[in-house]
Chains A and B, each alone.
Chain A
Amino acid sequence: MNDVRFMIDGKECLGKPGQTIVEAAKANGVYIPVLCHFEGLKPVGSCRICTVRVGGRFMAACTQPLIEGMAVENTAPDLEDMRKSLIEMLFVEGNHLCPSCEKSGNCELQALAYRYQVLAPRFPYLWPRRDIDASAPLLMLDGNRCIQCLRCVRACRAKDGRKVFAAVDRSRRVKIEVDKKLAAHLSEDQARRAMDICPVGAILRKETGFAVPIGRRKYDAVPIGSDVEKGTGR
């Protein structure tokens, strides 16, 4: 099949049929910020930070497939402010105490806040009461930090295909639960994968933490998305 021609903020790009805007943009050196998406997993459009505008309509770039000739707006000031709002929303919705979080410096939510210069959220803090589940032998699940991206729900399955993590309840009460029986038999690799796939510090491998010193962590020196933009001179 032929490549799909499309534009992002006026830049001519080429993508593959069926590719999503986020993936195609990445292949063209354009970073579209996104939290819930993880390469190789079915996109779910839950964080909405990748919202772009096409023909006046807003859409999530992580779920929207390319359409021949589409003109994508990615960095319009009002769009960027919407994204910043959504990042701030995630901060006030949970209890994100960066100074005491093992993921600090490697956290994608925090990294986006740095990139978007979030100094103080425009929204009031909601201070929900959330649980910490440390019953699994290898990992712990801290609901305070969870942003409902559903990466773990999609990625982590037991050998027989059953889901290790699942969303329970609904509305503002929705939370991710780890299946106690399946979690009891997770391998070291599975636990590590669960932690690595979590964009924030909600899933942590027990007995480790703060392994990389401040200054050498993933987002200490370079903004998130820099790898995508490298060489494009943004």
Chain B
Amino acid sequence: MSKPVIATASLAGCFGCHMSLLDIDERILGLIDLVEFNKSPIDDIKTFTKPVDVGLIEGGCCNSENVEVLRSFRKNCKVLVSVGECAIMGGLPAMRNGIPIRECLEEAYLNSPSVDPEDRTIPNDEDLPIILDKVYPCHEVVKIDHFLPGCPPSADLIWEAVTALVEGRPLQLTYDLIKFD
């Protein structure tokens, strides 16, 4: 029987949640025995090559590319998990959410004292993803099946959740595992 397949992505996040995943220490060897990784920055597989059992999403959606990646994860993963505060509620990138995006862009690229006075332009290359009006939590864009809070979620929480999901048992989230920081 083939091993359960996992995929991961970091959208508008800091990769801290991925670091926390690696922080499961020697248990990572057990994890490799338990599952197979598909599309993920961890193994650098860029595209889905087979159906995935569990998708882990770090970060929220701050631009059009994030939305595209998230939707492709939803399409290719049986179970989709929001990992960390950014995926769940936008996190620190969402601090801009009360401010109109034009004001943000103008502050960053036109008015800030650190901007090169010779080059005051809002980036507009066609190949760049387009920034969204605000940062969206993943579950406001696609259906999300599970949420692992934390900034980052502790290695123990990730271990508990991933093993539970691939083994098909319910998540046991004890008090010490649920933290928002």
Contact = CB atoms under 8 A, between A and B. Distances in A.
Direct contact of A and B (CB under 8 A): yes
B55 interface: no
Contacts of B48: none
B15 to A, nearest CB: 15
Interface in A189-234: 214, 220-223
Contacts of B85: 97-99
Interface string B70-92: 00000000000010010011111
A100 B92 CA distance: 8
A221 B174 CA distance: 11
A130 B149 CA distance: 24
A113 interface: yes
Interface string A26-56: 0000000000000000000000000000000
A117 B180 contact: no
Given A120-B147, A127-B97, A98 B180 contact: yes
Interface in A115-129: 115, 117, 119-121, 124-125, 127-129
A20 interface: no
Nearest to B137: A125
**For chain A, which range describes its interface: under 10, 10 to 19, 20 to 34, or 35 or more residues?**
20 to 34
Nearest to B98: A129
B98 A99 contact: no
A221 B98 contact: no
Interface string A74-103: 000000000000000001000101111100
Contact of B151 (A98, A115, A121, A222): A98
A110 B180 contact: yes
Contacts of A98: 85, 151, 180-181
Contacts of A130: 98
B178 A119 contact: yes
B134 A127 contact: yes
Given A117-B173, A120-B137, A120-B139, A105 B181 contact: yes
B99 interface: yes
A115 B174 CA distance: 10
Contact of B178 (A117, A124, A125): A117
Contacts of A119: 88, 146-149, 173, 178
A105 to B, nearest CB: 7
B95, B134, B147, B181 — most chain A CB neighbours (10 Å): B181
Contacts of B68: none
Nearest to B134: A127
Given A98-B181, A110-B180, A114-B179, A120 B94 contact: no
A121 B137 CA distance: 11
B126 interface: no
Contacts of B148: 119
A127 B132 CA distance: 14
B144 interface: yes
A221 B144 contact: no
Interface in A126-164: 127-130
A100 B91 CA distance: 9
Contacts of A63: none
Which interface residue of B140, B151, B176, B179 has the most chain A CB atoms within 10 A?
A: B179
A128 B99 CA distance: 9
A62 to B, nearest CB: 25
B90 A125 contact: yes
A125 B95 CA distance: 12
Contacts of A101: 181
Contacts of B98: 95, 127-130
Given A97-B85, A120-B88, 6 more contacts: A97-B91, A97-B95, A119-B148, A120-B137, A120-B139, A125-B97
9 contacts: A99-B180, A114-B175, A114-B180, A120-B82, A120-B88, A120-B137, A124-B140, A129-B99, A222-B175
